[in-house]
Structures are given as C-alpha cells and as structure tokens.
Copies of this chain bind each other. A is one copy, B any other.
Amino acid sequence: MFGSPNTLSDMRQWPDDRIAFGGDYNPEQWPREVWADDMRLMEAAGVSFVTVGVFSWSWLEPERGRYEFGWLDDVMGLLDEHGIAVDLATATATPPPWLSAAHPEILPVDRDGRTLWPGSRQAWCPSSPVYRDLALGLTEQLASRYHDHPALAMWHVSNEYACHNLPCYCDTCAAAFRPWLERRYGSLEALNEAWGTAFWSQRYTAWEQVLPPRATTTFGNPTHVLDYHRFGSDTLLAFYLSEKEVIRRHSPDVPVTTNFMTMDHFRLLDYHDWAPHQDLVSTDHYVVDALEHPRSELSFHGDLTRGLAGGAPWVLMEHSTSAVNWQPVNPVKPPRETLLDSLTHVARGADALGFFQWRQSRAGSEKYHSALVPHAGEDSDRFREVCELGAVAARLAEVAGSRVEAEVAVLWDYEAGWAVDGPGMPSGELDYATAAHTVHRLLRDRAVTCDVVHPDTDLTGYRVVVVPTLYLVSDEAAGAIAAAARGGAHVVVTYFSGIADLHDHVRLGGYPGAFRDLLGVRVEEFAPLRVDEDVALSGGGVGTVWSEDARALDAEVLSAYGSGPFSGRAAVTRREVGGGVAWYLGTLPDDDTLGSLLDRVVREAGVAPVAEVPVGVEVTRRRSAAGSWLFVLNHTTEPCEVAVAGRDLVSRADVGPVATVPARTAAVVREA
C-alpha cells in the first residue's frame, strides 16, 4: 500500500515500504465493462498506485456548479477494493469547454498576440482570476469529498504546470506583471536601473507603461525578458499554493504534490523555488529521441530531481513504456529498454514508477502514446514486459527510503538558463545545458555520481563542484563557490560563468567577473564558435562552442588555443587555492580531452568511482540505515562483470565476488 501519512514528517518518508508502481488511470475514456478488466490486469501487473482525474474537469463539472461525482466515487471504491492507492488529481489542468466559452478572457495569448484556443489542453492564462476562482471551486469539492477516502494516498495538483500555457502575454498578465515588479523593485527608479532602460529610450515613468515582452521590432531588453520568466514561474507557483491551501484545509495529512517536468527541453519554471512547497517531489520524464545522448539526459534529470528533493526519494509520476506521439517520428523502445529506463530512475533516487497511462486510448490526441496496456491488449509482449517490471519493482521494496551517494555537485540554475537564452547574447547557439550535460555524462561514464543542485545549496562535503555556464550568479553564491574551493573542494568552472549579476548586468573589468579572482584568469573578449566550428588546443584535442581572449594572471595554463582568433591564449587553467583547486575551461573540449581532464580532477579530489565498469554500464549506490544497494545498468549488448557481492534483487540470485550482469539488463545488488 501507498504509505499512510499522518503527519508532514511522515509524508516526507513516503514510500518507505516499496517501490510504488502504476500510472495515470483515465477510466472515463472507457465503458464501465472495461473497468473490471482494468482491475484484473492491474493486479496481474502489480500496480500499487494510480493517478486519477488529471483531465476530468469536464466530466466532474459538466456545467458550472453542477457536479457528477458518481463515476469517480465508483472508481475510487473499485480501486480501494483492489488495494490500489490513489493519487487524486484536482482535475484543474484543463478547463471544460463551457468555461472557455463563457470566459474567453481566460485564453492564453502568445508573444505574437495570437490567442490559443481550446481544442487541446491547458488553454488558460496563468494570471486569470476567473480561472483561479473556478479551479479552486472544483478543488474545494474534491478535497471535501475525498479527503478521508480510504484509497486516497496523495493529492496531485493540476498537471505539468506551464506545459503549454506559459508564457502568456495577454492583458491580464500585463496587469499582473506590474504589481509583481513593484514588489520586486519597490520603485520605478530601481526598475529602470535594473533593466538598463537608458538604452533604446526605454525609461518608464509610470507602472502602467510596463508591458510583457511582446513581439516587437527587433530583439528586446534582456532583463525585461528575464523578469518575465521569473514572473511566470512565480505566478503559477502562487496558483499551486492556492490550490494546496484549499486541499490542506480539508486534508491536512495527505501529501500534496504537482508533477514537475525535469526534462531538457522544459525549463519554464524555476523548480528550485517550487520544490520546498512539495510534500513529495514528483516529476515526469520522457526520453527525447532527437538528443545526441538521450539516456545520459535521463540520468542527469534523475539527479536534478533528487537535488530538488534535497536528496530524498522522489516520485517518477510519468514515463512511457514505449513510444510517445509528440515527436516528429516516434521510435519504440526496443525490448528491455523500459526496464533499464525505469531502474535508472530508481538508481537516481526514485521510489515510485508511474507511467502515462494505464490503458492506451482508442481515440483522442494521445491514442498513439504507448501505455501499460497497449492497443493489442494483454496478449502482447509489451504487457508481459509491464508485468515483469511490476514484479521487479515489488522485489525492490527494501530500497525504498534509501538515498543515493554522491561526492560531486553540478550546479544548475533555471534563471541562469533563462538569461543565457535571452536576446542579444554573444551566441544564439549557446545552450545553457551543454556544459552541464557533457560533464555529467563523462562523469557517469566514469561511474562517478553527481548531485545536480542549485548554486545556493550548501556545498560542504562535496569533493568536486562543477560550475557549468553559470552566466548569472549572485555575489553570495559566487562567494560560497570560492569558499568551497578554499575549503578543499575542486571547483570546475566552465566558459560563460560568473559574467553577470542577477539583474543581468555585466560584471566589469574583465570576465568572468564573479570568478576572476578565484580562477586567476582574466578574459577580455568572447569568441563564440559557430556550430561545427572548433579550435585546436595545445594540450591536445579541440575545443567547441566557445573560445576567448583569456589570460592566466595567476593560474597554470594546462592548454592554450592553437588556432582561432585568440591563438596562444589560455583555454584550460588550474589554480591551487586554499585547500582546494579552481579549474577553468574557456571552451568545451572534445569528449576524450575533457574526459582525461575530469579523470585528473576526480583523481586529485579523491573521488572514487562507484565501481569499476566499462563504458555503457551505469552504476550508482543507494544507502540507508538498513544497508546499501549497488545499481548496475548494463546498457551494452555484452554481459559485464562488476566486483560486488550480495543478493541481486532483480534476478533473485546471490552474486559475488564478481557479478555478471547480462546484456541490456540491470542488477540491484544488496551488498553483503
């Protein structure tokens, strides 16, 4: 069963007795005769929890104030009978047609002034008071009706906030943006200073003059755009908190969450602001085929989600058994890929494995999105694989509640990402995530586990701190990073970090202003590289993405540029500082070159790999008071050997001193 939280501190422990297994359940799509079959198959698959009601508003409240809860009562009862815990959604993610028809002013408007109409999902303006009032009304109904239902295990507020209705540029948002700015800046003088309105005649002399950064003649004001990102994230967080407050009033001891989207292509919300307000951090993750390294991205975002949860276990609310249907072409997952994907999430700290969705739709927008029960039905390889995965999840129960071990921190900051993507930057091809993902991937290849955390995180205890493209940084965070180095850590700073303050004002006198002293490096000018362009490095290999006119004023040059406009200038440097070392990368070296450098960094820092494994085999360790578990994910097409002894919970075999993990499968070894 799905925990039984009574107090907030209890909630935070959930689930401590199993790896929960289940997914979104949308019985309203099916005639009732299918529901009994659902129960039978859920039992067969080992489903322990389902999320109900995510898109049910139009079925729960078909007209304003008229509710139809009968079907949901029946569903809740049925699930309770079968011992399946319910993560009950507030159903407020998407308004019913009657609401949009009665209140077209709730429709979002994009940057080009284009209204986004109903016909899909989430067509509501994040600032709309009308929408909020009606959403809170439904939440109130649900919370008061089901707060003491025996099947209820968790509240699921809205769904994938910001996934498709942010940013909105409508007049309602314009009106809400102004008081947000007034709270942030206090005065127009401060706003004008922060936004640098002396440029391009943008000085505001009344709050009413301020608008969202709508479509304009050419590129806009970067701080204006940055603040609009902040405003959007804050607006939806306030929405979430208002729903949570309604629930809390009726249901004080059931955990409340909303499912994040910690995926590479989704960076619309500052989840570091949101996470403290989650009783349990939950997220969705889908593998994107267009990525060069899709499984490394999966691991990265597992580590990021764990970072958001402060190291605690987290809930994978949604992933997919096979293809999605929103990519240009949607490849399947070949046999065993789902097992590897799911256990990678557990290896990175997930204690629950949810899928979208239980039964594949026969109609509608996502009918070609894979599910636990495919169109082909139970007599299918896919459903047999699901049953096997459910059984494995059950066998991993003892892992629940344990924590992942890591000695390396990779800093991640959504605000820095927003600023890097802003208008008028040195390179429009620079992606905020590239350096972070690359370093993380190469360390993962070396069996080194990273926590992905916010710059404001306490860095004490990390042997290595990676600062990738931290373009925007506060004085405090920069100071803490320097202090970590002085305290003995190895700090690895990459290009385009520490350039600006939180207003996106450049720190003058030579880049990278916030880290110039720490690194002993001064950069006079950037020379971003074109896609497919590279520069030679004197230490071997090539650099891509970035290069600079950098001089080592007080640092050892490990590699200099061997070509390009700043040939001879410093590309990679190292400086001993206090008990630690500050490393600088002014470019992104090729994998081999950067890998060798990281080998040196972890060696000098005394970070040992989790285990000795070949590339393509991913390992992490989870540990609790009860023991430790080595996760071995063999992504290769050959069996691999790992020095570990204990009980493999996947194969239910005792292994050791060397365990052999077959090709394309996983072992989870309770270490002897």
For A101, what are the chain B residues with a Cβ–Cβ distance below 8 Å?
A: 206, 208-209
Q: A325 contacts which of B211, B224, B424 (Cβ < 8 Å)?
A: B424
Choose among B63, B120, B221 the residue that contacts A218 (Cβ–Cβ < 8 A).
B120
Q: Output the least CB separation between A164 and chain B (Å).
A: 3
Q: Enumerate the 7 nearest inter-chain pairs by beta-carbon distance, A residue then B residue, closest first.
A: A196-B363, A199-B364, A164-B217, A196-B364, A58-B203, A97-B209, A334-B565
Q: A381 to B201, alpha carbons, bound, how many Å?
A: 31
Of the candidates A334, A362, A423, the one having the most CB atoms from chain B within 10 angstroms of its own CB is: A362
Query: With A and B bound together, what is the CA distance between A330 and B424 in angstroms?
Result: 10
Closest beta carbon of chain B to A50's beta carbon, Å: 16
14 pairs, CB–CB < 8 Å, chain A vs chain B: A26-B198, A55-B199, A98-B206, A98-B209, A115-B214, A116-B217, A119-B214, A120-B218, A198-B364, A222-B365, A325-B425, A329-B529, A330-B426, A367-B424
User: A508 to chain B: which residues have CB within 8 Å?
Assistant: 362, 375-377
A506 CB to nearest chain B CB (Å): 5
| Cross-interface CB contact of A375 among B58, B219, B510, cutoff 8 Å | B510
**Across the interface, which residues of B come within 8 angstroms of A374, CB to CB?**
524-525
Question: A202, B362: Cβ atoms under 8 Å?
Answer: no
Q: Count residues of A near B (Cβ-Cβ below 8 Å).
A: 122
B112 touches A114 (CB 8 A): yes
The A interface, classified by DSSP as helix, strand, loop or mixed, is loop
Residue of B nearest to A208 (CB): B101
Stoichiometry (number of copies): 3
Min Cβ gap A288→B in Å is: 13
Given A113-B114, A218-B326, A508-B375: A363 and B195 interface contact (C-beta under 8 Å) = yes
Once the chains bind, are A59 and B203 in contact (CB under 8 Å)? Answer: yes
Q: Which residue of B lies closest to A115 (CB)?
A: B113
Docked pose: A110 CA to B237 CA in angstroms: 34
> Are A326 and B219 interface neighbours, CB within 8 A?
yes
Chain B residue with Cβ nearest A531: B329
Interface residues of A in 112-130 (CB under 8 A from B): 112-123
Interface flag for A94 (CB, 8 Å): yes
Of chain B, the residue at the smallest CB distance from A334 is B565
Once the chains bind, are A506 and B429 in contact (CB under 8 Å)?
Answer: no
Inter-chain contacts of A468 with B (CB < 8 A):
none
Give the residues in chain B near A115, CB-CB below 8 Å: 113, 214-215
Residues of B within 8 A of A98 (CB): 205-206, 209
Give A223 to B366 CA distance when docked, in angstroms. 12
Contacts of A163 in B (CB 8 A): 218
A528 cross-chain contacts in B, Cβ below 8 A? 329-331
Q: Which of A94, A361, A365 counts the most chain B CB atoms within 10 A? A: A365
